[in-house]
Amino acid sequence: MSSGVKLVPVQEAYDDLLNRTLARIPCDLGRLIYLASTRDYNTGNYYHEGLANRFRPEVARKALEIAHRQAFYRLSAFSLESLVSDLEAYLQSTRENPREFLRAWQKLEPYRVAIPTEVNLTVARLFTSNLRLALAILHYRQAQNHLGR
Amino acid sequence: MIGTTTALIGAAVLLVLILVWVRGQSASRHLPAVMDEWLTGQDDLPEACPPEFVSKIFSSRDSEFISQLESVDLKRLFLRERNAVALLWVQQTAATIRRIMRHHLEASRLSADIKFAMEARIFLQYAQLRLICGTLFLLIGLAGLERLHWMALRADKLTQRIGNVLREFESGARSREMDGVQS
């Protein structure tokens, strides 16, 4: 490992993160967004106070980085149908107005900042493309429901 | 009469090639700007696209799901998006293989012990891969991704195979160098 962080504590920190924090988040997209939010936009370093207190900050940083990459690749491998269901679950968990949520996400594409650094370019493009499609599908279903009423 | 027919066929083929080329150019314009940076990047090879994602990009599963929704707009959006991803993958594969070959040529130039059979094998695989990438680039959008699935998997397998052959070559060259130093 380039940073000299030993593997066993990183594994422990990773398990801790998985069991204590990520297990409470109901969907994969939610977990990805959460993990991306622990990354500092200015430095690209990850920080989680609880994890850094229980383990060393560099161990916590590495565990967060690994978890982020894994969450990203897992979600990118979803079929479009599964991604639509996961996005729907995420939308419900935010308790926002679905119409406003869809409008904001289609316009601002905030999921772009959830992509980890150093991932394959094609997979990153597939991820944004699939989310764009999933949003369009939910928007379409919403319009269909509106017309049906 | 035969001359006129041949000229007409030739003109038609030329027209199709021009249309396909224009289409390819227009598709590449929609590729992210980061690709330029990636293509002209430094010597380090970037992370390769995992094979399961290659299969996913060219599979029919998502397309079938979109078809069930019976929306022309969604279908159109899906085709545009997925074709762009497929084109990016083709460009990334071609760029990776170019970089691997450049690296190999530099290593061969310094090597005193070049095996003709191995060099010929590497070159043939490289030529085959470039041909597949070129064909995929031209046919994506025209033939449909599902029909090109086998070709994409073949390109992916060839890329891995060339990578393995070159790794073998490099480790062989390194051990020969070590033997030379010891004796």
- In tens, the pLDDT along A23-72 reads 999 999 999 999 999 999 899 999 999 999 999 999 999 999 999 999 99
End-to-end CA separation in angstroms for chain B: 74
Work out the angle at residue A124's Cα, subtended by the Cα atoms of residues A112 and B57, and round it to the nearest 5 degrees: 130
| Distance of residue A35 Cα from the nearest chain B Cα, in angstroms | 21
Could you tell me how many helices (H) and strands (E) chain B has, helices first? 7, 0
Residue B28 has pLDDT above 90, yes or no: no
B46 reaches A (C-beta below 8 A): yes
Neighbouring CB atoms inside 10 A of B168's CB total 11
Task: Find where tokens 């900050």 sit.
Answer: A57
Q: Write out the E strands in A5-130.
A: none
Out of A76, A80, A129, closest to residue B84 by CB: A129
| Distance of residue A14 Cα from the nearest chain B Cα, in angstroms | 23
Q: Which residues of B touch A129 (CB under 8 A)?
A: 81-82, 84-85
Chain A interface with B: residues with Cβ < 8 Å: 73, 76-77, 79-81, 118-123, 125-126, 129-130, 132-133, 136-137, 140
Residue B182 has pLDDT above 80, yes or no: no
What gap in Å lies between CA A71 and CA A36, rounded to an integer? 10
Quote the pTM value: 0.82
Cβ pair B159, B48 in contact under 8 A: yes
Q: Would you state the structure tokens that stand for residue A91, as one six-digit string?
A: 């939308």
A141: nearest CA partner in chain B:
B69
Say what the pLDDT of residue B171 is.
Answer: 73
Q: Where are the alpha helices (DSSP H) in B140-148?
A: none
Q: With bands split at pLDDT 50, 70 and 90, how would you rate the model's confidence at B24? A: low
Q: Domain total for chain B? A: 1
Cβ pair B58, B98 in contact under 8 A: no
| Distance of residue B62 Cα from the nearest chain A Cα, in angstroms | 6
The 3-class secondary structure across A63-92, one letter per residue, is HHHHHHHHHHHHHHCCCHHHHHHHHHHHHH
Q: How far is CA B146 from the centre of its chain?
A: 17
Say what the pLDDT of residue B13 is.
Answer: 72
List the domain range (segments joined by +) for residue B168: 4-39+46-182
Q: Check residue A10 and report its DSSP letter.
A: H
B150 reaches A (C-beta below 8 A): no
What gap in Å lies between CA A37 and CA A47, rounded to an integer? 9
What gap in Å lies between CA B44 and CA B52, rounded to an integer? 23
What gap in Å lies between CA B20 and CA B107, rounded to an integer? 37
Residue B182, helix vs strand vs coil: helix
* CB within 8 Å of A89: residues ≥ 6 apart: A26, A27, A29, A30
Q: Which residues of B touch A121 (CB under 8 A)?
A: 32, 34-35, 38, 46, 88, 92
Out of B34, B57, B66, closest to residue A126 by CB: B57
What digits encode the pLDDT tens for the residues B128-157?
A: 999 999 999 999 988 889 999 999 999 999
A135: nearest CA partner in chain B:
B74
The per-residue b/e assignment along A115-148, b for 16 or more CB within 10 angstroms, e otherwise, is bbeebbbbbbbbbbbbbbbbbbbbbeeeeeeeee
B52 reaches A (C-beta below 8 A): yes
Q: Would you state the structure tokens that stand for residue B171, as one six-digit string?
A: 């480790």
Residue B31 has pLDDT above 70, yes or no: no
What gap in Å lies between CA B50 and CA B130, rounded to an integer? 19
Question: Which residues are registered as beta bridge partners of A46?
Answer: A39
Q: Check residue A46 and report its DSSP letter.
A: B
What gap in Å lies between CA B63 and CA B68, rounded to an integer? 9
Q: Which residues of A touch B65 (CB under 8 A)?
A: 79-81
